[in-house]
Amino acid sequence: MNLFRPSTSSLLFYVPFRRLKTYSPLNKTHIEQVLQSWTSEIPVERALTLPSSFYTSRDVFELERHAIFGQNWLFTGHKNQLKNPGDYITGRFLSEPYIINVDKSSTLRGHYNVCCHHGMRLLKDDQGHLETNEIICPYHGWTYDLNGRLRKALRLKTIEQFKASKIRLKPISIQTIGPFIYLNLNLLNNDNIENDLSHINIIHDKYLTSTNYDQLEFITRKSYPIKCNWKIYVDNFLDGGYHVPYAHKKLNSILNMDEYKVIVEHPKASVQYCTGASRAEGNVNYSYIYPNLMINRYGSSMDLNIVVPVDERNCIVHMDYYYCPKTTTKQDQEILLKDSDSVQQEDIYLCENVQLGLESQAYDSGRYVPIVEHTMYSFHSTLFHELQKYYDNHIK
């Protein structure tokens, strides 16, 4: 039995909310002005970068909540975090808390981490195991099985027009590609939800499978609150290594930057790679999967950057670390975490100060350096198209 076989019901059977929470802009005129301030029709050699309002506007952020993070596949975990029935991981994207768990039949399930009674968050730990194979609400004790069905709720004798067998946690579509688990919060376009995985498959098949990344073991997660718009962090990753010689001196010393290549494989996927020395000996691969996942594969290690927006001026970056248990010592792990933290602190300094600059009246748009920043331009173009499409279809 395939432990990580996503359930058919999770992928194809959607129970929509009775009342979908759609976006209503605070200032429709402002949104129109922002979207009219940029175009992807100008080639990167002549294009201006996204105007600063894309990084500072509350309306743009609220539009992204639905148009970007409510429509795309989002990384949520690694299959070795979910090995046995009752194992679970939880998390939250913006206002949407989720549970991914393994049920009694060893099927992976995805649900909103929200009780059907009064909306209480059910599980609070990031990762754990349910010894009783039940999800019990800590508020009033409503109890659900691992498939999300309500199994027990007390003191309901006088309730009317209620059938417990019909009550279940709202499901979330999930998919596994390689060792990674992805979810999709789309409640509006369920028929085509499985058809938008090609960009993830490209990165998996072309750049990661040959590195045996599925054999790596999860070490830990570190989270970094950053005072910048989430797109600034993505932009920083997608500048084609342009900032590495100036901002990351130690990293620069172990990468062969003269060999650095930057490739856009798909409007939602790009890769940067070179060879390295020291702990990054061999091929070094920096993959980006739209909208918020970065995969850094080098030597016997791998780390992931998962960027989660908080508001228009803040985000959290989760760093997930993996290693090869056969070749990596405890000391190697400690060095990996220490070196990675140094790079993160350097990037945080850059990103927070770019946010400060974007707030200034002295700046609106800049320029792309085409030979290295065409991946950033591709990201901006994809983002712009999705914002414009959602605006046209749901708001205009």
Cβ atoms 375, 264 nearer than 8 A? yes
Q: pTM to 2 decimals?
A: 0.91
Q: What is the mean pLDDT of residues 304-325?
A: 96
Q: What is the pLDDT of residues 341-354, one digit of tens each?
A: 999 999 999 999 99
pLDDT score at 260 = 94
Instruction: State the pLDDT confidence band at 293, using cuts at 50, 70 and 90.
Output: very high
Q: What is the mean pLDDT of residues 331-346?
A: 92
Distance CA(286)–CA(230), nearest Å, equals: 18
Distance CA(106)–CA(249), nearest Å, equals: 47
Q: What is the mean pLDDT of residues 81-105?
A: 95
Instruction: State the pLDDT confidence band at 196, using cuts at 50, 70 and 90.
Output: confident
Residue with the larger pLDDT of the pair 192 and 294: 294
Delineate the domains of the chain, giving CATH numbers in brackets: 73-184 (2.102.10.10), 198-380 (3.90.380.10)
Mean pLDDT of the residues in the chain: 90
Neighbouring residues of 60: CB distance < 8 A, sequence distance ≥ 6: 31, 34, 53, 54, 312, 387
pLDDT score at 339 = 92
Q: Is the peptide bond before 179 cis (omega within 30 degrees of 0)?
A: no
Q: What is the mean pLDDT of residues 106-112?
A: 97
pLDDT score at 192 = 56
pLDDT score at 279 = 55
pLDDT score at 2 = 40
